[in-house]
Structure 1
Amino acid sequence: MFDGQIDPEFADEHIRVLSGEGALTGALNWYRAMTRDFGDIDRTTVPTTYVWSTGDTALGRAGAERCGEFVDAPYEFVVLDGGSHWIPEERAEELAEAILARAGS
């Protein structure tokens, strides 16, 4: 299903958790609650770092880059070459470095 992008044990654990009664409802409700009227979204006023991977098939680069248009504070767009949508699982060290760099700024 993920064409070798994620560790099979990681995928199996998520499938196990999300197969529980009612578990998938909460996960899907996050997407259902999304607005399509971006004029209603408040601008972010805190320093923000967006970490994106060039292999993310869920969100393309243009959409990821446009997130910065909604930030009225220091903003950094960090691009990780390769990987996929699952940055915390695949690139934990690089993600932690980006978080620590922001927290220390």
Structure 2
Amino acid sequence: MLFHVKMTVKLPVDMDPQVAARLKADEKELAQRLQREGKWRHLWRIAGHYANFSVFDVDSVEALHDTLMLLPLFPYMDIEVTGLCRHPSSIHEDDR
């Protein structure tokens, strides 16, 4: 199942910079692993924001929820999820 996910990160302004740096490094490591596994299919930064648009390819809504909960920055995110399906007018057989 494909999901379009918008993640907006809102770190506390008084967060220790070393804690923030560690969270960001851990987030990057996990995000790249999930991309290599094919679960996090696309990842785009939203210009001018500490946010991204992503496409996840997971087995279920529950699998998406569990994956998002693993993200080190999850406690500091506002997340919007939209389920996706292929459009009948698309000329592409695959969206990879």
Q: Return the TM-score normalized by structure 1.
A: 0.28
The one of the two structures with greater contact order (alpha-carbon pairs below 8 A, sep at least 6) is 2
Which structure's CA Rg is the greater one? 1
Q: Return the TM-score normalized by structure 2.
A: 0.30
Identify the structure with the greater helix proportion: 1
Identify the structure with the greater strand proportion: 2
